[in-house]
């Protein structure tokens, strides 16, 4: 393959330059059909695998469809690094190359330049996302201390009318069951992270999304103080006269993860439900990054999510509007984030708009091109039994 460089951006290529790119990368038989449909650089970088296999292009060879699709990804990545030289990156004849496929792989094997370029772990970004999430959670704990003293007196401001709580008897132990549902889902998620080959990308996404959702929750808690949702809640203001006392209480909430099972009881943090956010986030991450064929697991996590929400309402710990808004915000943010990531929005011609409106997304996802494959591997060099098992699975 020949060297293909240009001082212009890919989107500014004309049809002749696209034809040259196809020839240099071994796809000369498709030059005529690309010219016939007036595919220039702008159109090229918007092509997806479905476009290549469907009319009017309808490329008959599956191998060529996959290769052209990957070459487009690599072309965009090369441009992002400031060079359009893809002579080395797009060489499908290189010895030892293996495609980026969705199956079990051995983590000790070296990743080819194609897969490594598309899904680099970028540990430093994962560390930054963790720090961001940690700071937000600490700030959330501090806000919970502040809003507790602002809860309206229930003798003056009784619980608000609620169409669900007014017809649902209060179950004292239901809130503990909601936290057990969340704990079980967290256990499942930890197992998935342990085996997932791209675990650091998953962690980065979880930390950034969780931090953003709970930062938004801090704003809503500070803006409006709702009366307690149940008569059983005794929320008397606590006299924290010194800064040290407030910080001590903040640390108690933080270390207890805001869970009643850990002895954390707080009031005023109603709009919106943090427990619902955690349940929903775990459900969506588990269903997104577990094998597609594990329908039983996906059904179980959805049931745990719904039952967890029911138990929160049955305990009369939140108004139904708190739970509804929490589920809606968490699910929408998860879906919007992944739609942007999976559609290669940072590599489209109007990528500058995406970077302007979603700077944190652009920072964390700048080097991820396309859908993160659900590949699994044994992450440790021992025991040898598991290492050999995953090596055989790969072959």
Q: What is the pLDDT of residues 237-286, one digit of tens each?
A: 666 667 888 888 889 888 888 888 887 888 888 888 999 999 999 999 99
Catalytic residue among 275, 298, 316, 338: 275
Distances 270 to 216, 261, 263 between C-alpha atoms, Å:
13, 18, 18
Give me the count of residues in the chain: 395
Report which of 219, 217, 175, 121 is spatially closest to residue 307, judged by C-alpha positions: 175
37 included as an active-site residue: no
Give the pLDDT confidence score for residue 270 in this predicted structure.
86
Distances 253 to 94, 144, 352 between C-alpha atoms, Å:
55, 8, 40
Q: Which residue has the tokens 């959670």?
A: 137
Mean pLDDT value of segment 180-194: 96
Give phi and psi for 316, each to the nearest 5. 55, 40
3-state secondary structure (DSSP) of residue 376: strand
Catalytic residue among 232, 318, 338, 350: 318
Q: Kindly report the pTM of this predicted structure.
A: 0.70
84: its two tokens: 């359009």
In the Cβ-directed half-sphere of 220, how many Cα atoms lie within 13 Å?
18
Q: Which residue has the tokens 């500014």?
A: 12
H or E segment to which residue 173 belongs: none
Say if residues 240 and 146 touch (Cβ distance below 8 Å): no
Sorting pLDDT into bands at 50, 70 and 90, what band is 2? very low
Give the pLDDT confidence score for residue 40 in this predicted structure.
87
Dihedral sign, CA of 147, 149, 150, 153? positive
pLDDT digits (tens, 9 = 90+) for 136-146: 999 999 999 88
275 included as an active-site residue: yes
Report which of 24, 83, 18 is spatially closest to residue 45, judged by C-alpha positions: 18
What's 13-74 look like in SS3? Answer: CCHHHHHHHHHHCCCHHHHHHHHHCCCCHHHHCCCCHHHHHCCCCCCCCHHHHHHHHHHHHH
Residues forming a β-bridge with 104: 376
pLDDT digits (tens, 9 = 90+) for 148-165: 888 888 888 888 999 999
Say if residues 209 and 333 touch (Cβ distance below 8 Å): yes
- Between these two residues, 85 and 57, which has the higher pLDDT value? 57
Say if residues 175 and 235 touch (Cβ distance below 8 Å): no
Query: Helical H runs in 196-294?
Result: 199-223, 243-255, 274-289
Q: Kindly tell me the number of DSSP H helices and DSSP E strands found in the chain.
A: 16, 0
Query: Rounded to whole angstroms, how far apart are CA atoms 80 and 72?
Result: 12
Query: Rounded to whole angstroms, how far apart are CA atoms 285 and 302?
Result: 11
Give the pLDDT confidence score for residue 107 in this predicted structure.
30
386: its two tokens: 């598991």
């Amino acid at each position: 393959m020949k060297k293909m460089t240009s001082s212009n951006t890919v989107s500014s290529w004309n049809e002749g330059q696209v034809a040259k790119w196809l020839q240099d990368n071994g796809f000369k038989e498709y030059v005529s059909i690309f010219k016939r449909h007036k595919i220039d650089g702008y159109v090229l970088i918007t092509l997806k695998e479905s476009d290549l296999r469907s009319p009017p292009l309808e490329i008959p060879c599956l191998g060529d469809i996959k290769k052209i699709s990957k070459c487009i990804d690599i072309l965009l990545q090369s441009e992002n690094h400031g060079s359009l030289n893809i002579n080395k990156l797009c060489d499908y004849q290189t010895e030892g190359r293996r495609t980026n496929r969705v199956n079990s792989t051995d983590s000790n094997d070296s990743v080819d330049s194609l897969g490594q370029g598309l899904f680099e772990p970028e540990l430093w970004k994962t560390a930054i996302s963790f720090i961001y999430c940690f700071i937000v959670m600490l700030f959330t704990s501090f806000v919970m201390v502040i809003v507790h003293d602002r809860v309206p007196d229930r003798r003056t401001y009784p619980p608000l009318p609620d169409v669900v709580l007014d017809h649902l008897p209060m179950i004292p132990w239901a809130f503990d069951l909601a936290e057990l549902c969340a704990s079980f889902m967290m256990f499942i998620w930890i197992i998935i992270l342990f085996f997932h080959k791209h675990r650091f990308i998953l962690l980065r996404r979880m930390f950034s999304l969780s931090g953003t959702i709970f930062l938004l929750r801090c704003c809503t808690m500070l803006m409006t103080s709702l009366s307690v949702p149940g008569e059983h809640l005794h929320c008397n203001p606590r006299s924290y006269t010194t800064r040290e006392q407030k910080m001590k209480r903040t640390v108690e909430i933080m270390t207890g993860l805001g869970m009643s099972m850990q002895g954390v009881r707080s009031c005023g943090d109603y709009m919106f439900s943090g427990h619902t956010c955690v349940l929903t986030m775990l459900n969506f991450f588990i269903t997104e990054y577990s094998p597609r064929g594990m329908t039983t697991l996906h059904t179980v996590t959805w049931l745990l999510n719904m039952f967890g929400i029911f138990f929160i309402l049955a305990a009369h710990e939140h108004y139904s509007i708190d739970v509804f808004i929490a589920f809606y915000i968490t699910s929408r943010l998860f879906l919007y984030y992944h739609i942007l990531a999976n559609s290669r929005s940072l590599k489209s011609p109007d990528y500058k708009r995406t970077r302007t409106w979603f700077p944190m997304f652009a920072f964390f996802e700048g080097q991820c091109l396309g859908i993160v494959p659900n590949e699994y591997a044994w992450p440790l060099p021992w025991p040898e039994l598991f290492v050999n098992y995953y090596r055989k699975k790969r072959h």
